[in-house]
């Protein structure tokens, strides 16, 4: 009976595990968007750190839960790979830097800094967390009452499963990932988001949520070929890289000021408004494109690994068949 309880607490079928990975990640990190700092004129950049409880507390609790899960798996002789631990902590660190470091208040005054912030919350942070595959470890680090009283109803909720199936459609997830970038770069919306904090929060939430969906589809090693083949993943990465480059090149090469809302008067970074806009376009253009290259490398790695695994299985099957035939003869 005790073994059955342990199996219930720590074993999830692939379907429920996958959509729980999505929505638990979204609930943990969508709140990370609700931050707002300020920096005064002539204030030192390094003194402009932001301390927002709604971000700091969830990140600290996530680290503690993850540490408990790592310890639990170690006691079970199923240790978490050190590389995954590093990726997980780096992902959290990137979110913290984007939303609590001086980068956050500077993003209200410089388009260049704002694009760095968006690059982190759309690319680096979500992708590193996805690559670390942390959810099984996080689940095992949770208290029993949470697993029994909260996780079980969530995993059986039909609406959540429907939303999971909807937003993990590869082409829809990719479209939404690209669309959130383009929509929020429309000058009118972009400027309103800077002037209206709830709208600014909505911008960050939409970017983080769509990023988790997209990078999970790209990096999920368990996704069946029929659901999203490696060839399709490469096409999706190409699409994201292409649209990123198009938007970045337009902003960089435009000779007129697109975003007039930014105020460089705080003297934190010596650059004109036009230079600020061009540097921001370059951030969209070059690092955004490089993330597509890195994603392609990961997909190729998964593809080669999967092919080798299939060849080994086929070789064992062929060897077993030949052995059985020789015994019969």
Residue 1 lies in a domain: no
Q: What is the per-residue pLDDT for 68? A: 95
Q: What is the per-residue pLDDT for 222? A: 67
Question: Are 154 and 145 spatial neighbours (Cβ–Cβ below 8 Å)?
Answer: no
Residue 193 lies in a domain: yes
Residue 241 lies in a domain: yes
Give this prediction's pTM. Answer: 0.81
Residue 329 lies in a domain: no
Residue 167 lies in a domain: yes
Residue 304 lies in a domain: yes
**What are the per-10-residue average pLDDT scores of the chain (329 residues)?**
38 45 48 54 70 89 95 92 95 95 88 95 95 90 86 84 89 96 96 92 95 92 67 94 95 93 73 91 91 91 84 71 60
Helix (H) or strand (E) holding 77: none
Q: What is the per-residue pLDDT for 170? A: 93
The b/e string for 119-128 (b: 16+ C-beta within 10 A; e otherwise) is bbbbbbbbbb
Which tokens is 315 given?
């070789």
Q: d(Cα 128, Cα 212) in Å, to the nearest integer?
A: 10
Q: What is the per-residue pLDDT for 109? A: 87
Which tokens is 272 given?
């004109």
Total of domains in the chain: 1
How far is the CA of 198 from the CAs of 106, 194, 202, in angstroms?
A: 18, 10, 6
**What is the CA 230 to chain-centroid distance, rounded?**
19
Q: What is the per-residue pLDDT for 327? A: 54
Q: What is the per-residue pLDDT for 155? A: 78
Question: Are 154 and 20 spatial neighbours (Cβ–Cβ below 8 Å)?
Answer: yes
Q: What is the per-residue pLDDT for 321? A: 63
Per the structure, the complete domain to which residue 59 belongs is given by 14-317
Q: What is the per-residue pLDDT for 248? A: 95
């Amino acid at each position: 009976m005790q073994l059955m309880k342990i199996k219930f607490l720590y074993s999830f079928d692939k379907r429920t595990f996958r959509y729980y990975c999505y929505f638990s990640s979204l609930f943990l990190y969508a709140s990370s968007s609700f931050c707002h700092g300020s920096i005064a004129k002539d204030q030192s950049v390094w003194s402009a750190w932001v301390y927002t409880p709604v971000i700091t507390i969830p990140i600290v609790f996530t680290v503690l839960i993850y540490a408990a899960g790592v310890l639990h798996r170690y006691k079970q002789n199923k240790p978490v790979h050190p590389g995954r631990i590093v990726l997980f902590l780096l992902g959290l660190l990137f979110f913290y830097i984007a939303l609590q470091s001086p980068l956050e208040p500077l993003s209200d005054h410089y388009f260049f800094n704002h694009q760095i912030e968006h690059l982190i919350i759309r690319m680096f942070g979500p992708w590193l967390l996805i690559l670390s595959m942390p959810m099984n470890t996080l689940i095992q680090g949770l208290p029993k009452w949470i697993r029994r009283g909260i996780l079980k109803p969530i995993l059986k909720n039909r609406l959540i499963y429907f939303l999971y199936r909807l937003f993990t459609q590869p082409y829809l997830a990719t479209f939404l990932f690209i669309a959130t970038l383009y929509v929020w770069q429309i000058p009118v919306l972009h400027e309103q988001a800077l002037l209206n904090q709830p709208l600014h929060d909505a911008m960050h939430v939409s970017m983080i949520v769509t990023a988790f969906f997209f990078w999970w589809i790209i990096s999920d090693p368990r996704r069946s070929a029929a659901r999203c083949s490696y060839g399709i993943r490469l096409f999706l990465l190409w699409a994201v890289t292409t649209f990123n480059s198009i938007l970045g090149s337009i902003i960089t090469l435009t000779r007129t000021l697109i975003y007039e809302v930014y105020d460089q008067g705080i003297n934190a970074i010596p650059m004109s408004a036009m230079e600020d806009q061009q540097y921001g376009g370059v951030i969209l253009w070059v690092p955004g494109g490089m993330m597509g290259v890195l994603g392609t490398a990961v997909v190729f790695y998964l593809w080669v690994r999967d092919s080798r695994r299939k060849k080994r299985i086929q070789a064992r099957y062929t060897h077993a068949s030949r052995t059985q035939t020789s015994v019969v003869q």
